[in-house]
Structure 1
Amino acid sequence: MATSSDEMKTKPSWRRFHDGDDTWSSLTEKIFVQDTSHKCPTYVHKTPPCQGSCPSGEDIRGWLAIVRQQERPPVDVDWQEYAFRRSTEANPFPAMMGRVCPAPCQDGCNRNELEDYVGINAVEQFIGDTAIENGYGFEAGPDTGRRVAIIGGGPAGLAAAYQLRRRGHACTVFEANEGLGGMFRYGIPGYRVPRDKLDAEIGRILAMGQVECRFNTRVGVDVSIADLERDFDAVLWAIGCQAGRGLPVEGWDGTPNCVSGVAFLKAFNEGRMKVTAEKVVCVGGGDTSIDVVSVARRLGHITKTGQPDLPETVIHDGYVAHDAASAAAAEGAQVTLTSLFTRDKMTAAEHEVSDALQEGVTILDGVMPVALLKDANGRATGLKVADCQMVDGRPVPVEGTERVLEADLVVAAIGQGGDLSGLEELDNGRGLINADKFFQVPDRPGHFVAGDIIRPHLLTTAIGQAWIAAESIDEYLKQAEHKRRPKVDVHHFNLLAKMGEAELAPERFSVADHGDLRGTSDGNWAIHNYEDRSAAEVIPHDELFLAHFGYHPRNLRKEEVPSAEEVIGHFKERVVGLTEAEAIDEGKRCMSCGMCFECDNCVIFCPQTAVFRVPKDKRTTGRYVDTDYSKCIGCHICADVCPTGYIKMGLGE
């Protein structure tokens, strides 16, 4: 009986050969059937595409293996803590990034070639929330006596403080605001980033000790660069981009009710803006614009407004705040989001766009702003838009499609820029700071930079840059030459370190005791039959044996998204995290690309019994199977049935 088309869509299968194939497509296939190639299996570690796609460089495959219960933790460490330790090698904010990261790792996941990607950020949220519940903390390295100034207490600055404290360097964070967190705190609403969990993850870093914070302090105004160079051994610039870009339409600058998305969200997140306008138009298409329109729908508006009640008064002033009683009288606001790109090309996460639609936001995609309409008092009354087409990467309005969107508040969420007032000597002419490949500021010894002030991008990008910058600072303070960065620059699994953790490290080799050996497969002085290509290669899906994997639907996080009628005043977190059982099951969907996950296929299918399990007392992750080369005939079967692509044929002509 033929498989139904519906079942084929929901339960995919994989076939090495297709109907009509009658010849071998490659020399490898010919060798496979001839059973003699003089090549035997080598165990080759490569980087999976999830890690290669992660700007923070997390060892994603590693902590998924721990969650799935495959990689065992050291004695006296529970698996939840072990997963947390592995995850936070790169990123000290798993609870935050598990919620808000757009997850480029999931776009790269090889499981997309089957039914769906692994829910990496959902498992990361579970790891982060569990760590907070269990009170896991960080440990600082031995004190070096060196002090580093970190300018900016956002994701990049805090991640750098964490990495520097692990290396034993003391840090002083200079923060222009009243609290730490940067875009976590001032750029993302609390219903997406719960403040109690944000405070817990920041608190872990501060608890490492020797992390001094100087709030309401603006470097370049309150403190000079010369002061920093005098008092500190190195300086890291992580000031972010807090200045929003205005719309490229005539009359934008100086119009009171035209504001940036950054300023809008900051006023809300500081608790000053309690209500918004009756008709809000936001121009964007990215995550910031989705946050703006979602907040506007939740705040609503009040019908009778005097000058102090206007939202732009609060947004522009920075000190004025709405009376809390205003929110009680709020009515629904008409909120429209416009985007140059069609919905399928918007940079905002798809589920965030869907949530905004459910909450009552109107989305007009494929349109561009062309003019601002004002009244006699100079306030905007509407935004004229038109359908657009992209010509040479630039939007061009389609003639005859112009229409006016009435607006009491127009918000531009089309990008951010740096504010280098008082720091003009660092300005590269574009309101940003230049960086070399080691995240040093060129021609300024002892100065380093990370985060959006290099180029506005993702939070995960800022965290990854902070890690590399911290390594560069550490090398600078030790007067060591900067080591060459690998082609695939992420946190890699280290088999030698893993064997040391499992008390299986190779013995010390002594020439005096053993002579000048040019080769051996018996001595326990090295890790035999293993090649680490992880710093140079990312393993693609066509190196895996996909037929091993059955249909396994993704464990979806539940969401509590309010309707358009329920949205006013709804500030409860929308995402409900995975349970422990769901997280473990989701971890089991990981195909462990480029690393053995102990499936036994090679042992079972080897016709010569040449491939065998390593004895239990000598076994650990990456050292599960071995090969008896006196039995191996080079038939390729083990490599052919290896689901993860860990076995390659080598060691021969």
Structure 2
Amino acid sequence: MADALPGPDIRTGRLSPDDYLENFDDLHPPLGTHEASVEADRCYFCYDAPCTIACPTSIDIPKFIRQISTGNPVGSAKTIFAENILGGMCARVCPTETLCEEACVRNLAEDKPVQIGLLQRYATDTYLERPDRHPYSRAASTGKTVAIVGGGPAGLSCAHALACEGHDVTIFDAREKLGGLNEYGIAAYKTTNDFAQTEVDFVLSIGGIDVQCGKALGRDITLAGLRKEFDAVFLGMGLPGVNALRAEGEDLNGVIDAVAYIAELRQAKDLAKLPVGRKVVVIGGGMTAIDIAVQAKRLGAEEVTIAYRRDRDAMKASAYEQEVALTNGVVIREWFQPKRLLGEGGHVAGIELERTAQDASGRLSGTGETVTLEADQVFKAIGQTFVPDALGGAEALSLDSGRINVDDDRRTSVAGVWAGGDCIAGGEDLTVAAVEDGKVAARSIHAALSA
């Protein structure tokens, strides 16, 4: 069957320049002043609001919405930043449909929640229009130093909170820019106009934060060295490893890590120069799978299929995100897992999928029934992994399933070392959860350094 498959059709410039601009414009156009006012008036301003309880960073949502309704978006933004300094990005990328908006009591009356995410974006965007202002000022220097490994949401959140307290912070990041997945791993149509870097600049403007990019833990710096040089260390390096498909033919050209491709797309100066296949298959069921599938379609792929081993209800991607994929012409095939990848001249040309089934206990197994799809590109979006080797064996950090164990204050098992974000055991793979980890860790670090 593999011999009958055509060669790969991967090309650049599948669309017109106007098509690229339209396809990668804002997924959710921002609210105008009148629209924000009308939407804010829909809020019941609940006491013990369930939306606030559902927010991982505990933003006082009724308060910030009331401030918008009274014509005070700057004050509203300050309310947001008090709990989530990356509130602008979270307004764009948080799955509000399964967090605050799902908890909105408006759902009971009319099945249409207040558009909390868009209101949060309206407030924070209004504030960030003036790059010369910041809601906080830095306290007098304490003389204490803290190393932050990883400049993603957890690291930025931790760094900002510690700098506010007067501690001297240094962020080390392996990449050329700070931002983590906000800069490199989120669909381009969710964060347009270089917003990730605008927000990084906003965070750093508090002062007291030194940035050293191109410095990877285990390559350029060591945990042992950081512990000697700094008074405290926060680890927020995310998940640099990639899970394997464990399928025959995985090493063929055209079998690509979805996160790496999204990173390339996010840094591309000209999307027309980014090659994409005519027929694309994505393996996975999370947000990354949706993001890469939709972006491949918007780059001009004719056929994009997501293959997931269980049903859509089990997908980590929310029902709303699945709908985004479907409305963009992506096909979602449930109950299929990769069995082998088929090649032509060393390049992937197709994928053989095996139908799956689960027993009463939920255990998954292959049924033996297979289907073959033509594919010029196959994207792996089945999760990332932590790489503990970078920590150095001598540090003896306690790990759970390959991730760092922490307590409720985000302390690790090693004195003077905290951690947060995706690299910790139980990490939720959400920007907003990472921000909360950084905030909680900073509070604990400040208490330790002040003792």
| TM-score computed with the length of structure 1 as normaliser | 0.57
Q: Name the amino acid aligned to 1:172.
A: T
In 2, distance between residues paired with 1:210 and 1:107?
38
Alignment partners' CA distance in 2, 1:427 and 1:191:
38
Contact conserved, 2:149 with 2:171, CA < 8 A, in 1? yes
Q: Deviations over 1:457-500 (max 9, x none)?
A: 21111011111111010111112xxxxxxxxxxxxxxxxxxxxx
- CA distance in structure 2 between the aligned counterparts of 1:427 and 1:299, rounded to whole angstroms: 43
Partner of 2:67: 66
| Contact 1:249/1:369 (<8 A) preserved | no
Tell me if the contact between 1:372 and 1:380 (Cα under 8 Å) persists in the aligned partners: no
**What runs of 5+ residues in structure 1 fail to find an aligned partner?**
1-44, 70-77, 301-331, 480-653
Distance 1:61 1:393, change over 3 A: farther
**Who is 2:274 aligned against?**
274
Distance 1:472 1:359 in 2: 45
Structure 2 Cα separation of the partners of residues 394 and 165 of structure 1: 48
Deviation at 1:411, TM superposition (A): 1.2
Q: Residues 121, 395 of structure 1: CA spacing in aligned structure 2 closer, same or farther, 3 A cutoff?
A: same
The answer to whether residue 445 in structure 2 is matched with residue 477 in structure 1 is: no
Q: Which amino acid aligns with 1:396?
A: S
Offset at residue 413 of structure 1 (A): 0.9
| Counterpart position of 2:412 | 441
| In the alignment, structure 1 residue 222 sits paired with structure 2 residue 220 | yes
Give, in whole Å, the separation in 2 of the partners of 1:399 and 1:217.
47
Deviation at 1:448, TM superposition (A): 0.3
Q: Where in structure 2 are the equivalents of 1:487-636 lying within 5 Å? A: none
370 and 361 in structure 1: CA distance in 2 versus 1, 3 angstrom threshold? closer
Whether 1:453 and 2:423 are equivalent positions in the alignment is yes
Separation in structure 2 between the aligned mates of residue 422 and residue 389 of structure 1, nearest angstrom = 38
- Return closer, same or farther for 1:376/1:111 CA change in 2, 3 Å cut-off: closer
TM-superposed deviation, 1:429:
6.2
Structure-2 separation of matches of 1:163 and 1:47: 26
Q: CA deviation at 1:333?
A: 3.7
The answer on whether the counterparts of 1:245 and 1:260 sit within 8 Å (CA) in structure 2 is: no
Q: Distance in 2 between matches of 1:435 and 1:370?
A: 35
Distance 1:150 1:460 in 2: 18
CA contact (8 A) 2:410 2:440 kept: yes
Count of residue correspondences: 392
Measure how far apart 1:456 and its partner are.
5.0
- Counterpart position of 1:79: 72
- In the other structure, the counterpart of 1:263 is 260
Deviations 1:122-163 (A, max 9, x none): 111111111112444132233222111000001110111111
8 Å Cα contact 1:95-1:125 kept in structure 2:
yes
Q: Aligned to 1:244, which of 242, 245, 262? A: 242
Query: Partner of 1:55 in structure 2?
Result: 56
Change (3 A) 1:423 1:256: farther
1:610-630 Cα shifts (integer Å, max 9, x gaps): xxxxxxxxxxxxxxxxxxxxx
In structure 2, the residue matched to 1:381 is 349
Does 2:445 match 1:463? no
From the two aligned structures, give the one with the greater strand fraction. 2
Equivalent pair of 2:169/2:208 in contact (CA under 8 Å): yes
Q: CA RMSD in A?
A: 2.2
**Structure 1 residues 178 and 120, CA gap change in structure 2 (3 angstroms):** same
Q: Which has the higher helix share?
A: 2
State the 1:203 CA deviation. 0.9
- 1:132 maps to a residue whose letter is L
Q: Could you tell me whether the CA contact under 8 Å between 2:398 and 2:412 is conserved in 1?
A: no
Candidates 103, 117, 141, aligned match of 2:113? 117
Report the TM-score when normalising by structure 2.
0.81
Amino acid at match of 1:88: F
Task: Say if 1:368 and 1:395, in contact at 8 Å, map to a contact too.
Answer: no
- Which amino acid in 2 is paired with 1:125? R
Tell me which amino acid in the other structure corresponds to 2:289.
S
Per-residue deviation, residues 383-415 of structure 1 (Å, max 9, x unmatched):
222443333233334454x21111122112121
1:433 and 1:449, CA in 2 relative to 1: closer, same or farther beyond 3 A?
Answer: same
Aligned twin of 2:103: 108
Distance, in Å, in 1 between the alignment partners of 2:310 and 2:53 is 27
- Find the partner of 1:422 among 390, 397, 405: 390
1:413 maps onto 2:381 in alignment: yes
Q: State how far apart, in whole Å, the 1-side matches of 2:47 and 2:416 are.
A: 35
2:125 matched to which residue of 1?
A: 129
Question: How far apart are the structure 1 equivalents of 2:356 and 2:349?
Answer: 22
State the alpha-carbon separation in 2 of the partners of residues 478 and 417 from structure 1.
Answer: 35
**Contact 1:387–1:398 (8 Å) recurs in 2:** yes
3-state secondary structure, aligned to 2:277: coil
User: Following the alignment from structure 2 to structure 1, what is the Cα–Cα distance between the partners of residues 344 and 316?
Assistant: 37
Q: Is the 8 A contact 1:433 1:441 kept in 2?
A: yes
Q: Residues 33-84 of structure 1, C-alpha deviation per residue, up to 9 Å, x if partnerless? A: xxxxxxxxxxxx9632212221222222221232233xxxxxxxx7222111
The amino acid across from 1:474 in the alignment is H
**Residues 222 and 392, structure 2, Cα contact 8 Å, conserved in 1:** no
* 4+ long deviations beyond 6 Å: none
Aligned match of 1:160:
158
Corresponding residue number in structure 1 for 2:210: 212
Please say if 1:394 is aligned against 2:347.
no
DSSP 3-state at the match of 2:423:
coil
Unpaired runs of 5+ residues, structure 2, are 1-45
CA distance in structure 1 between the aligned counterparts of 2:54 and 2:168, rounded to whole angstroms? 31
Tell me if the contact between 1:368 and 1:387 (Cα under 8 Å) persists in the aligned partners. Answer: yes
Q: Which has the higher contact order (CA 8 A, sep 6+)?
A: 1
Larger Rg: 1
1:393/1:261 Cα in 2 relative to 1: closer, same or farther (>3 Å)?
A: farther
Distance 1:243 1:474 in 2: 31
Name the SS of the counterpart of 1:64 in structure 2. Answer: helix
